[in-house]
Structure formats: structure tokens, C-alpha cells
A and B are shown apart, each in its own frame.
Chain A
Amino acid sequence: MAWGSNLDSDARRGLMLVSPPLVYAVLLLALPLAAIVLFSFWSQDFVTVNTTFTLNNYQRIWNEPIYGLLLQRSLFVSGAVTLVTVVLAFPVAYYISFHVDPKRKSLWLFLITIPFWTSYLIRVFLWKVILGYNGVINSGLLSAGVIDEPLTFILYNINAVIITLAHAFAPFAVLPIFVALEKIDRSLLEASQDLGEGKVMTFFRVTLPQAMPGVAAALVIVSIPTVGDYVTPELMGGAGGKLIANMIQTQFLQLNNAPLGAAIALVAMAAVVTAILVIYAQGKLLIAVYSELNGTRPVFDIFILCVTMLFLQVLVAAALLRTLGGTLGSGVAFFVGLVLYSIAILLLLKNRRR
């Protein structure tokens, strides 16, 4: 290495140490990822792969409604699972961080992570036992006399998929939020209350903003892997609950159309990353509006305004998901609309400042 001589010995040692895992990741991660990108531009001729460049796979995904539908459903499930997981996990993380005796915190975290380490397949199957026709919930409610016949809306549909995935990813939401909460300087909370804020306002103005990095990490860690799971939809989803990952798996292992499968996998990845970027940008937008107005109006007004904006954003996102079901094209159109909306708000803010 010619430039190696410019580095001090510590840096060179660091590079040397990190190179085996790096080389491993390049060989088994970067190269394979590059390979599926390449592959998605090829096509399958029965048993052999035709290596002439083609956009056919992407055209199929763009035109055939099934892919848009599956993608829409996958993004919806991923979003719902993420929302449910984070909302359910936050109070638990908060409880462990703020109310549990420091000596017992690690015991709590240990208890929360244990279920995650037990056989995933069997755990998913057991949810079938809990939610099923003769399952725990139905037989329990029947014998208690709450219902007359078994509930059927909780198995073999999207609800079942969401419940099962929300259970599976619970620790992934609790841990990052807990870490963020632990980092909060407790004296800030005291300062806030000394300055006359109530407990609730202290939570919203001091604790929650500082917990946001943890919430953001939880959003990413939960939402991306849920798009890639085909086990839960296969076992719990029934006919109407299949997701995009099932389609990828089918293309690769049953229909033997690896190039199309590779293209679907890449589109799914791109869709989920885009969705996360959109949410991130909208969150930033909300924070920008909040900090711009903070101090100029009563806190309550700003709060209402932000909630309204959030509601609008959710509405737009829902519309985006709905249209995605038609074809991918209309989904992209809505995405452009969302970007324009964001730019408009930013321009409004800029004008205010002048």
C-alpha cells in the first residue's frame, strides 16, 4: 500500500484487524448483492439463464397488478407492525429505564429478550394455536360466555400476520428505545419541573424529543426485516395474507424464475427504503415546523398544528399505499406529490423567516 506509509501504526493495525471481516462481508454480501442487481436484468429461458440485458422483469413488476398489490400489502403490514411494536414497546422501555431499580434493569431486559431467542417457527405456529378456531382465545372467550361462536377474524388474514410479527419484533423495539432513554440526563427533567412545567409537558418537551433517536432506530430495525419475512404470512396469512416475500420465495424455489425473483427483491428493498426515507423526511419537516413556531404561540396551538400536520401526512401516506395497489406507476405519482407537499411547507417556513 503506497498510502499506507502516511498512516500511523495504530491506523495500520486497525485496518489490518478489520480486513478479514471486511473481506468476508465483501465476498459474501457486496458481491452477491451486486450479482442480484445484474441478475434482475437477465431473463430465464426454462432451465438456462439468458444473459442479454433486458428490462422485462421490471416491466412485468410495473405492469402486472399482483406485484403492486403485494407490495402495498407488505408495506402496510410492515408499517402497521412497526407502529404497533413501537407504541406497545415505548411504555415498557420507559418503565424499565425510569421506574425499575437499576440493579434489576438487566434482569428485565433479559426477560424481554428470551422469547426472541426461542425457535421462531414454533413461536409462529403457537400463535396459530392461540388465535385459531379452537384456540386459546376462542375457547377461553366461549367458556367465559363472552361470545357465542368462535371469532374468525383473527386467523388466516392480515390481522394474524400483524399480531404475530408484532410479537416477534418486540425486543427490537424495546432495546433501542431503552438505550435512548437511559442516555437522558435526569437533571434535565428536574430542571424542567423546577421551571414550572408539569410532568406531562416535561415528558413531551424533554423526554420524548431525546428518546426520538431510539424510536427512529426501532422503526428501522423493525420495518425492514418484516418486509423480508415469508414464514409468518405463509403460516398465518391464509390466501389473502400473502406478502411480497412469499412471491420472491415462490419465484426462486418453485417457479424457478430467479431473475424475476431478484428484480422483485430489489424493488421491495427500494420500496421499503423509500418509505423509511419519506417517514424520516416528514418527521424532520414536523420538527422543523415545531421549532420554527416554538415560542411564538402558546404551546397548545403549536401542538394542535403539529398533530394536524401529522394527520395530513398519515392521510397522504394511506392514499399512497392505496394507489400503489393499482399499479406501481400511480404509487410513484403519489410519492412525487408528497415531495411537492414537503417542499411547499418548507417554502412557507422560509417565507415566514423573512
Chain B
Amino acid sequence: MRISVLGIYAILYLIFLYAPIVLLPIFAFNDATIIAFPLTGFTTGWFAELATNTALHGAVRNSLFIALMSAVIATGLGTMAARAGATGEFPFKRGIIGFIMLPLVLPEIIIAVALLVILVQILGMNLSNWTVIGAHVLICTPFSIAILNGAFQNLDPSMEEAALDLGETRLSAFRLVTLPLVMPGIISSLLISFTISLDEFIIAFFLTGSNPTMPVYIWGLLRFPASLPVIMALGTILVTLSIILLTIAEYFRRRGNARAGIKDTGGFL
């Protein structure tokens, strides 16, 4: 393979992108409490400390619950919007879809303060996991739509029509014909939404109740230098987990494209 200037630049760019992540495991296994070079020695103690930290376990449980609910609801809403976008014209189609996609370009802090004002100051509700879920569904739905758009738009409508002609109802035709075809997209959307919600901090910090989510808990730890190596260990686990989830998501997205019989054009955004 001929290596061009552009190719070298692209590789340097990748190194820039991965530089912080590569450091994570290095410091997670380093036995100094200060996160700096030179390294002092190897330890797995920070991981052991993770296992005994009950406050962290609570935060992780909260985050997993929020991420799961957000992923399921956002993917449900995203499926409906993407399917509506793929079926014919209806009034204000562009406006409506554009409005639903709006959180993609809205600063997260605006969403956070807007929801805080209406939920707490006006409706007088208490903050809880569900207030975070409400906001996370809002920001995950656009991603879900973006992923599923591909799946629905490349679907051959004659397949579902054939099922209708053969006597299936709309619902059962969707379940038996369309759903299996877009299933890879749905799984991919679930995984991506789950990852977004699990990692989201800016909104969660405003809307979290008495039980912090994992990023909010990490934010609290960042103030204490002694807890930093533990964060590195936690980060290592999280990064490994996200890479596994994303690889599975990518696998399903590609399989979905293959099933719809289209050329793979890469990213889902």
C-alpha cells in the first residue's frame, strides 16, 4: 500500500483521538495515587477497591436502569418517527421530523434548565430517576431516528403490501415482515441510546434526584485526588464495555444494511 501524506495525517489524527483513552488502562494499573508520569509499579488494587464501593454500586444500578428505560422508550419513539418518515407524505412532515430531531443540535444545558424549570419550579415535582429518563429519551430519540432512517428507507414497500394482499392485518404484516427486516437497526439503536444515556452528565447533573447516576457520582469523585486512580479503573471498565457494545451495534447495523441489500456507506449519523 502506498502511504501518502494524507494517510499519515489521518493516522496522526486517530492517535490524537485515542490519546486520552490509551492513558486510562496505564494509570488504572499503576500503583501510585498521583495520576502522573513516571509510572511506579503494577497493581490491580484499584479494581479491587471498585468491587467494595457500595455508593458506586448504587450509582451504577441507577445508571443501568435509566439507560435501559431510556433506550427502550427512545427506540420505540424513534421507530415510529422513522417509519412515519419512510411512509408517504403527510402535512408538515419536514417540520415535525425536524422538531423531533432538534435536541441533536440544542445545547444540552438548555434542555436541562428548561426541564428543571418546568418540572420543579412550575409543576412542583420531585427529581428522580424518571426525570433523568424523560430528558435522556428526548436526546436519544434523534439518534435512534438517524439510525433507523437507513433501515426503513431502504425497505421495499412491496414486501409489506404482499403480506397485506395475502390477508395479514397491518399490525401483523409489520410484525411478521417489516420488523424482522429492521430488527438489526432496532438493536443498534437500543445499544447506541443505552451508551448515550449511560454516559450523559450535563443533563443528569441538573435532573438527578437523591440517588446520583454514575457520571454524577464520578463528577463528585473528581474533586478528591485520592479517588482518581479508582476513577481510572472504573473508566477502563467503562471504555471496554462501550467498545464491546458499539462493536455489537455496528455489527447489527451492517447486517441490517446487508439484509436490505444496500451498499454500506459507513456511519449512521
| Residues on A facing B (Cβ under 8 Å) | 7-8, 10-15, 17-18, 20-22, 24-25, 28-33, 35-36, 39, 49, 88-89, 91-92, 94-96, 99, 105-106, 108-115, 117-123, 125-127, 129-130, 132, 134-136, 139-140, 167, 170-172, 175-176, 178-179, 182, 220-221, 224-225, 227-231, 235, 245, 248-249, 252-253, 258, 261-262, 265, 268-269, 272
Contacts and interface: CB of A to CB of B under 8 A. Distances in A.
Contact of A220 (B105, B121, B215): B105
Interface string B92-132: 01001101101111111111011111110110000000000
Interface stretch (B53-61, B74-82, B177-185): B74-82
In this complex, the interface size class of chain B, counting residues with CB under 8 Å from chain A, is 35 or more
Contact of A36 (B85, B99, B100, B117): B117
B168 to A, nearest CB: 16
Contacts of B83: 17
A31 B195 CA distance: 27
Nearest to A176: B269
Given A24-B138, A248-B109, A112 B17 contact: yes
A248 B113 contact: yes
B80 A18 contact: yes
B53 to A, nearest CB: 16
Contacts of B199: 117-120
A118 B107 contact: no
B222 A125 contact: yes
Contacts of A105: 264-266
Nearest to B201: A121
Nearest to A98: B6
Given A11-B88, A29-B111, A130-B20, 15 more contacts: A8-B88, A10-B88, A11-B91, A17-B81, A29-B103, A92-B10, A106-B266, A114-B242, A119-B242, A122-B24, A122-B218, A139-B38, A178-B267, A221-B105, A253-B206
B246 A117 contact: yes
A260 to B, nearest CB: 11
Q: Which of A13, A49, A139 has the most CB of B within 10 A?
A: A13
B37 A139 contact: yes
A14 B80 CA distance: 9
A21 to B, nearest CB: 4
- Overall SS of chain A's interface: helix
**B interface: dominant SS:** helix
Nearest to A224: B105
A118 B21 CA distance: 8
A49 B19 CA distance: 47
B231 A122 contact: yes
B210 interface: no
B24 A126 contact: yes
A119 B100 contact: no
Given A118-B239, A228-B202, A269-B110, A28 B138 contact: yes
A130 B19 contact: yes
B138 A29 contact: yes
A29 B234 CA distance: 33
B224 interface: no
B116 A252 contact: yes
Contacts of A140: 37
A221 to B, nearest CB: 6
Interface string B255-269: 000000000111101
Interface string B230-263: 0110110011001100100010001000000000
B113 A252 contact: yes
B117 A35 contact: yes
A229 B36 CA distance: 26
B158 interface: no
Nearest to B123: A35
A139 B17 contact: no
With a 10 A CB-CB cut-off, give which of A108, A127, A231, A245 has the most chain B CB atoms: A231
Given A253-B206, A265-B113, A17 B218 contact: no
Contacts of B38: 139
A36 B120 CA distance: 12
Of the candidates A95, A220, A221, the one having the most CB atoms from chain B within 10 angstroms of its own CB is A95
A353 to B, nearest CB: 33
Given A35-B117, A224-B105, A95 B6 contact: yes
Given A112-B17, A224-B105, A227-B107, A15 B90 contact: yes
Contacts of A17: 80-81, 83-84, 87
Contacts of A20: 76-77, 80
A96 B10 contact: yes
B72 interface: no
